[in-house]
Amino acid sequence: MDRSYWGKTFVGVFETLFVHIMEAIQGKYHFSDLAADEIQIITLALLGIAAAIIGSFLVIRKMAMVANAISHTVLLGIIASFLILHYLLAKPFSELLEVDIKLLVLAAIISSLLTMAFTDFFNNTLKLGRDSSIGLVFTSLFSVGIILVTIFTKNIHIGAEIIMGNVDMLHRDDIWISLTLVLLNFTCLILFFKEYLVTSFDPEFAKLSRISPVLFNYIVIFQTSLTLVGAFRAVGVVLVLALLVVPPVTARLFVSRLKPMIYLSCFISFIAAILSVALSRHVVSVYGFSLSTSGMMVTILFLIWVGSLLTVSARRLAYR
């Protein structure tokens, strides 16, 4: 069987993938042999799992709007990092597309902390509503990021790549970045599960137990920021919100306990990643035009949620 995915249909993608998995088990297929489609599947699956872990806590804590704000304001930090490198190193923007991930992480963390600080200031000091504060902060900071993109990156595709993502840009290094995010979020889940649980469901009891809800809110935001940066090349800073929110919301329809909800969320993201790459390859092979794989993944997640909602609703009606 042909080892390439070029020209494969939806079923052909899975047949080739199965053959490669068998060859890998036998030691005949190595990491350096990974095809572009396999890099996309692995990276998107790992990013989806990392996002589902931290996204479950965002949903439980009702912080989805905060994640939405951060997913937008991270753009400002990323663009600022490009500008700093451009002027410090005197290099054109076209040479800075492979910017050091550590600088992006730092920029994203700073912009995330600014988002939280401004939101808390408007909410606690100026007495604006929480939703109003979040809306004011993220639209303002995001608009500044858009202006910087428009002014300084007119002749290259950095704006579209950061906002919408480009799965075709992924390479093997992105697998390691995504795996690092999964290990980080899973490690925090193991180490701080009790603290996350208490501060999510009963902040007052957490205070009595000398567990700071504010501290763990910022830890959750820190993890969210890192996940956003790790995902921006693949799915952009806008679509990544769906990876954070949709799988946990879907899983919550079927389970009521937090750990099963997290595991089911990860499984849903994994399935959506495989299906999105397979469908994108199928459309290219059969119809001859390209679709956004990240957009396809988000669409599949939405359809899974709709199907799950209809299934659960029908089951409830049947038992009445």
User: What is the structure's pLDDT at 1?
Assistant: 45
- What Cα–Cα distance (Å) separates residue 60 from each residue in 9, 151, 195, 211, 273? 39, 39, 13, 18, 24
In sequence order, what are the residues at sequence separation of 6 or more whose Cβ sits closer than 8 angstroms to the Cβ of residue 162? Answer: 75, 78, 79, 149, 232, 236, 237
In sequence order, what are the residues at sequence separation of 6 or more whose Cβ sits closer than 8 angstroms to the Cβ of residue 315? Answer: none
Number of helices (H), then strands (E), belonging to the chain: the values are: 11, 0
Residues of the chain falling short of pLDDT 70:
1-3, 85-86, 89-104, 152-165, 237-238, 320
Q: Is 59 exposed, middle or buried (0-12, 13-18, 19+ CB in 10 A)?
A: buried
Instruction: Read off the pLDDT of residues 237-251 as tens digits, 9 standing for 90 and up.
Output: 667 888 999 999 999
User: What is the structure's pLDDT at 262?
Assistant: 95
User: What is the structure's pLDDT at 55?
Assistant: 92
User: What is the structure's pLDDT at 34?
Assistant: 87
Q: Running DSSP on this structure, what letter comes out for residue 194?
A: H
User: What is the structure's pLDDT at 301?
Assistant: 94
CATH architecture group of domain 10-26+34-310: Orthogonal Bundle (1.10)
